[in-house]
Amino acid sequence: MSVADICAKVLREERITPEEALALHEQADMGTLAYLADEVRWRKHPNGVVSYIIDRNLNPTNVCVTDCGFCAFYAKPKDAEKSYVLDRETIYTKIQETVDVGGVQILMQGGHHPRLGIEWYEELLRDIKQRWPKLHMHCMSPPEIEHVSKVSKIETREVLRRLQKVGMDSMPGGGAEILVERVRKIIAPRKTDTDTWLRIMEEAHELGMRTPATMMFGHVETVAERIEHLNRLRQVQDRTDGFTAFFDWTFQPGGNPIGEKLMQKGWAKKTYGEYFRTTAVSRIFLDNFDNLQASFVTQGSEAATIALRAGCNDFGSAMLEENVVSSAGCFELVALEDIENCITSAGFIPRQRNQRYEIIDARGPVDASGLTTT
């Protein structure tokens, strides 16, 4: 099938195959991809709103036994100089700072600590919810859930059920990287495998949790493997309708073994053009995902603004703190006013949201004509 034929399918609102997605990525010009992705976004969000959330990325510990080759954040258990486990008062102070500036969510995730089991996380979540009952706790990605299940010797579904009972409202989409075993065996051989990551996501969806999905690309994977990753996500979404959004970002090579090895071989960091191309194809292919998030944290605010015209309808988080990708030398903290300026400069209407992508902005929702309804 030609690129023109595939474009016609997209415009007719027909689902494209993985082979057709690959053909678009490899053969279509960027203008065509952006046009198609923009059409899909307008179809799903005709009111012209681009949303964002105010939250904080809180990492209770950086101690990790997984040793992922792409991570510059973690510390080994015996690394007394670098490793930490935050005390409760530090955690509470960080949360109060977030609430004081209008934050509605805490994104809590961290390392795979060999001695922190289910009881430690239950107690922490219970205490947080007692202090801030309305705060949304977006906690612990699938690999962390699997790790806690191993430490505590219980099933992953039981981990999710117990954490949900004491205050875990939803689960982040971290740890996906590329959902292809050939790639995972190179970059994270000790981390959750593809089928387990997807199974834990489905378990969370079955318990009523809504979750995002992610992809970190631009390292050792092929473009076809990126499409395979997207296809696995689309298949789960067909079954559960539990994913709220998808967002992707390019691998950051600073301060980690994989990055050092690749650069020694003459590897070059992926360009903004490759980010736009992959993001646009994702928007076109993931026809059962309502939301696509731009990644200003890794790509920068200018690239994220352009991505709003390549299929994205969300600007991510006005994040008070981020420690993981910043450890790799890449993090752009953007003020709330600047986020709104980026959104309006791309021709959209900024609105604050919650984790379920519901508009909670004091200015009110916006109807299909682009007018505020309150």
Mean pLDDT estimate for the chain:
90
For the chain, percent of residues with pLDDT exceeding 70: 92
Name the region of 249 (left: φ>0; alpha: ψ -120 to 50; beta: rest).
beta
pLDDT of the residue at 72: 62
Residue 247 has pLDDT above 70, yes or no: yes
Split at pLDDT 50, 70, 90, the class of 134 is very high
More confident residue, 151 or 270: 151
Residue 235 has pLDDT above 90, yes or no: yes
Backbone phi, then psi, for 366, in 5-degree steps? -125, 135
Q: Would the CA dihedral through 162, 165, 166, 169 be positive or negative?
A: positive
Rounded to whole angstroms, how far apart are CA atoms 287 and 272? 23
Residue 336 has pLDDT above 90, yes or no: no
pLDDT of the residue at 253: 75
Report the pLDDT averaged over residues 43-51.
Answer: 97
- Which has the closest alpha carbon to 312: 346, 336, 361, 288? 346
- Which has the closest alpha carbon to 45: 359, 362, 363, 304? 359
Residue 331 has pLDDT above 70, yes or no: no
Q: E strands, 159-242, where?
A: 211-217
**Beta carbons within 10 angstroms of residue 284's beta carbon:** 26
Split at pLDDT 50, 70, 90, the class of 327 is very low
More confident residue, 302 or 259: 302
Residue 96 has pLDDT above 60, yes or no: yes
pLDDT of the residue at 298: 80
Residue 54 has pLDDT above 50, yes or no: yes
pLDDT of the residue at 323: 46
User: 116-120, 229-233, 240-244, 297-301 — which is least confidently predicted?
Assistant: 297-301
pLDDT of the residue at 234: 98
pLDDT of the residue at 320: 67
Both structure tokens of 6: 């595939």
More confident residue, 364 or 232: 232
Residue 364 has pLDDT above 80, yes or no: yes
Per-residue pLDDT tens over the stretch 205-228? 999 999 999 999 999 999 999 999
pLDDT of the residue at 325: 39
Q: Which domains does the chain have, with CATH numbers?
A: 3-352 (3.20.20.70)
pLDDT of the residue at 324: 41
Residue 190 has pLDDT above 90, yes or no: no
